[in-house]
């Protein structure tokens, strides 16, 4: 089939298969003019208004309808980069409404709502080495630091750091703390700070709160040059209903469902109608845009359960399921090194399995069940934990059914749920010990890791999006500094020990999981390629154990390589690293055992000392 200029774009767009729609739609400036294109199928007329025509459409500002399916186009002379504009859309009943450009590459700073002529952003990249070596990393360390840019740190006068400025601060901190990836809460343009970016209006427009698109390119480039990955929060399921946005874009249900039972949700936003091909092209192209133009390493897709189920939470939304399968398969075919993560709170099976097998095709899934059960357990006083032991061990029943990320995310420290520290029982010193146990359990448990900013030094208050983190605690509060030091040590352990990177069933082995009365838990993590292993021993009780027996596979000597009760982490133990020799007697179905010393509410990590096996 032969196509004239533009016909291929129209054909693919209306089939839902256009992966670079942003290269055609939106505002594209050249030396002397700008070409504007938009999809508005129910519009009676479309014009472009802005600062170049005093927001009053002239005859030459009206678009021509170039396809029956509703694509409009106009080239306006002397409109250059930096011009401010909106589309003036006349509805079928004659009302004229002003809408921001869905494909705008830049937008005015809120509370202003107009789009800015920018063109596809350009940048001189220096991350070729990173991109050439990038891979998803199922058997690699992935330890994610989740960040909300405006509340991580602010300038002394309370204003935001630019993307370039905060990149350098974040990279320095993350390298010091030994994280591997940053996950940024949504930065697609959004009007209301209190939505945290999850209710967007400009899907192709990086928010102007922190600078220009080119500034954000610098951000990503700087991270890559320091061997750190960048993951974006992305919201493919729903969008906000602000008047200038996508909602009722041409007076009709253009991007959303006409049926409000399908189109409206509990957050007061509108659900994307992904059964409509043009909406599919919009979203697929958007994901390609962030990957191709901004070199993003992965996306965490928000609220997947809201997409795959209807309002009743029972009946499946087949259109959304098929869309996600198509989206993920397309990305994997063209960008096999990009990490696709589902935030799914449902029990939908096969989220991280191949589409051919009925799966959704994601690479990883947030393990919300692990997060909820673990927090419910750790919040109990040790005296009562024996009745909740199953909450700690149940996750292992399904731990290998998907490729999981274990999140301790922003959702758990807002809306009255308490900061991590204040979820813990007991006095202040007890709370600190419980936090270290929680983080140790997360690090040892199969699955990649994610922790929200501020958790690493136990910020005392819930997260507040309008204020920076309580950094002063690191100067004024020894407990916060102790926890930060322990998180740094845990992150270092994770980077150094390959046994903690492999998350399949062949990399895990129970040693003890039924000691309910003493709240003890012991398991082994191993590297299947080398048989190297680490034993994690957890004491979730309020009782010290002086000679606790641990069955081991190999005889010889075992070294305690990390103890959460060490003095440098605010604990009581300040002696040398302890070594334990095996005792030739069966225990835990093993031929020998060691007797370990472990304080109440603490964790120790043990490693076999090679070359010391007995003859």
How many angstroms separate the CA atoms of 186 and 594, rounded? 49
Residue 469 near residue 459 (C-beta atoms within 8 A): yes
How many angstroms separate the CA atoms of 60 and 491, rounded? 60
574: left (phi over 0), alpha (psi -120 to 50) or beta: alpha
Q: Where are the alpha helices (DSSP H) in 379-427?
A: 389-393, 420-423
Catalytic residue among 302, 412, 456, 503: 302
Burial class of residue 144, CB neighbours in 10 A (0-12, 13-18, 19+)? buried
Catalytic-residue membership of 343: yes
* Count helices and strands in the chain by DSSP H and E runs: 15, 28
519: left (phi over 0), alpha (psi -120 to 50) or beta: left
Catalytic-residue membership of 302: yes
What tokens appear for 195 in the block?
């939505």
User: Per the omega criterion (within 30 degrees of 0), is the bond before 111 cis?
Assistant: yes
Catalytic residue among 233, 343, 344, 482: 343
**E strands, 553-601, in order:** 557-563, 579-581, 592-598
* Closest residue by Cα to residue 88 from 79, 100, 98: 98
For residue 387, what are the contacts with CB-CB under 8 A and spacing of at least 6?
none
Q: Is 264 helix (H, G, I), strand (E, B) or coil?
A: strand
How many angstroms separate the CA atoms of 450 and 456, rounded? 11
Pairing of strands 229-234, 181-184: parallel
Cα of 504 vs its chain's centroid, Å: 22
For residue 574, what are the contacts with CB-CB under 8 A and spacing of at least 6?
566, 567
CA angle 488, 492, 469 (to 5 degrees): 25
At which residue do the structure tokens 């472009």 appear? 48
* Strand partners for 449: 143, 406
How many angstroms separate the CA atoms of 248 and 89, rounded? 11
Burial class of residue 26, CB neighbours in 10 A (0-12, 13-18, 19+)? buried
Pairing of strands 404-408, 188-189: unpaired
Q: Is the dihedral of CA 113, 118, 124, 130 positive or negative?
A: positive
Half-sphere exposure of 186 (CA within 13 A, CB side): 26
Q: Is 497 helix (H, G, I), strand (E, B) or coil?
A: coil
* Closest residue by Cα to residue 299 from 241, 240, 236, 359: 236
How many angstroms separate the CA atoms of 448 and 442, rounded? 9
Q: Is the dihedral of CA 497, 500, 504, 507 positive or negative?
A: positive
Q: Is 386 helix (H, G, I), strand (E, B) or coil?
A: helix
Residues catalogued as catalytic: 302, 343
């Amino acid at each position: 089939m032969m196509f004239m200029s533009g016909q291929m774009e129209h054909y693919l767009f209306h089939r839902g298969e256009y992966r670079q729609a942003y290269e055609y739609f939106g505002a594209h400036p050249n030396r002397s003019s700008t070409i504007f294109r938009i999809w508005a199928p129910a519009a009676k007329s479309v014009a472009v208004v802005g600062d170049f025509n005093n927001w009053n459409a002239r005859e030459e500002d009206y678009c021509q309808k170039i396809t029956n399916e509703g694509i409009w186009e106009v080239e306006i002379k002397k409109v250059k980069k930096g011009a401010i504009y909106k589309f003036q859309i006349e509805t079928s009943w004659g009302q004229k409404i002003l809408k921001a450009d869905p494909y705008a590459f830049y937008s005015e700073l809120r509370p202003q709502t107009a789009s800015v002529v920018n063109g596809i952003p350009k940048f001189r990249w220096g991350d070729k080495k990173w991109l050439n070596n990038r891979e998803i990393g199922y058997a690699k360390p992935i330890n994610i630091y989740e960040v909300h840019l405006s509340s991580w740190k602010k300038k002394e006068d309370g204003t935001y750091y630019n993307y370039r400025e905060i990149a350098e601060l974040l990279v320095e901190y993350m390298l010091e703390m030994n994280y591997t990836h940053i996950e940024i809460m949504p930065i697609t343009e959004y009007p209301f700070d209190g939505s945290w970016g999850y209710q967007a209006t400009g899907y192709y427009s990086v928010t102007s709160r922190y600078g220009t698109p080119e500034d954000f390119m610098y951000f990503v480039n700087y991270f890559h040059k320091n061997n750190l990955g960048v993951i974006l929060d992305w919201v493919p399921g729903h969008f906000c209903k602000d008047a200038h946005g996508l909602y009722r874009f041409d007076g009709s249900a253009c991007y959303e469902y006409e049926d409000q039972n399908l189109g409206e949700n509990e957050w007061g936003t509108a659900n994307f109608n992904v059964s409509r091909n043009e909406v599919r092209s919009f979203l697929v192209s958007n994901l390609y845009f962030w990957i191709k133009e901004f070199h993003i390493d992965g996306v965490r897709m928000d609220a997947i359960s809201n997409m795959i189920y209807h309002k009743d939470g029972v009946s499946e939304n087949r259109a959304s399921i098929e869309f996600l399968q198509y989206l993920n398969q397309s990305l994997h075919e063209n960008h096999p090194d990009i990490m696709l993560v589902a935030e799914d709170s449902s029990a939908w099976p096969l989220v991280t399995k191949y589409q051919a097998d009925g799966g959704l095709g994601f690479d990883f899934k947030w393990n919300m069940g692990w997060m909820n059960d673990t927090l419910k357990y750790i919040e109990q006083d040790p005296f009562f934990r024996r009745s909740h032991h199953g909450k700690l061990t149940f996750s292992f029943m399904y731990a290998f059914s998907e490729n999981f990320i274990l999140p301790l995310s922003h959702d758990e420290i807002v809306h009255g749920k308490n900061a991590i520290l204040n979820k813990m029982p007991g006095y202040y010193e007890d709370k600190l010990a419980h936090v270290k146990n929680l983080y140790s359990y997360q690090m040892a448990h199969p699955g990649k890791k994610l922790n929200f900013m501020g958790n690493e030094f136990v910020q005392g208050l819930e997260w507040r999006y309008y204020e920076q983190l309580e950094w002063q605690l690191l100067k004024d509060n020894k407990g916060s500094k102790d926890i930060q030091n322990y998180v740094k040590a845990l992150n270092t352990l994770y980077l150094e020990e390959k046994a903690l990177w492999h998350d399949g069933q062949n990399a895990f082995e129970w040693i003890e999981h039924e000691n309910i009365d003493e709240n003890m838990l012991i398991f082994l993590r191993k590297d299947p390629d080398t048989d190297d292993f680490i034993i994690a021993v957890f004491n979730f009780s309020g009782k010290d154990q002086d000679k606790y027996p641990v069955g081991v596979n190999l005889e010889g000597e075992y070294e305690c390589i990390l103890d959460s009760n060490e003095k440098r982490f605010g604990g009581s133990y300040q002696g040398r690293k302890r070594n334990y020799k095996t005792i030739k007697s069966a225990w835990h179905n093993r031929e020998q055992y060691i007797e370990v010393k472990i304080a109440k509410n603490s964790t120790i990590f043990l490693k076999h000392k090679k070359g010391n096996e007995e003859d």
